[in-house]
Amino acid sequence: MTTMSAREFNRDVSSAKRAADNGPVVITDRGMAAYVLLTAADYEDLTEHRTILDWLQVDDDIDFTPPQLRSMPQTADL
């Protein structure tokens, strides 16, 4: 996935479009992800009508690494 700042995007839209041919392009604003540029085909793949059953039955492996907890929850002091 390609990342570029909003300033870079404004200066070189053609480069962003070429990068989107290889996958999503994250456009940041002040260092935070603000937009994602996709090809029309990728967008259609994401938005085609699916039921929750369709999503649960995908055969693809999904990479998921939950974030590490930095602190443990505290009990309520009543």
| Residue 2 clears pLDDT 90, i.e. is over it | yes
pLDDT given at position 15: 96
Question: Is residue 11 very low, low, confident or very high in pLDDT (cuts 50, 70, 90)?
Answer: very high
pTM of the model: 0.60
pLDDT given at position 10: 96
pLDDT given at position 37: 97
Q: Which of 39, 40, 9 is nearest to 24 (CA)?
A: 39
Question: Is residue 36 very low, low, confident or very high in pLDDT (cuts 50, 70, 90)?
Answer: very high
Q: Which domains does the chain have, with CATH numbers?
A: 2-51 (3.40.1620.10)
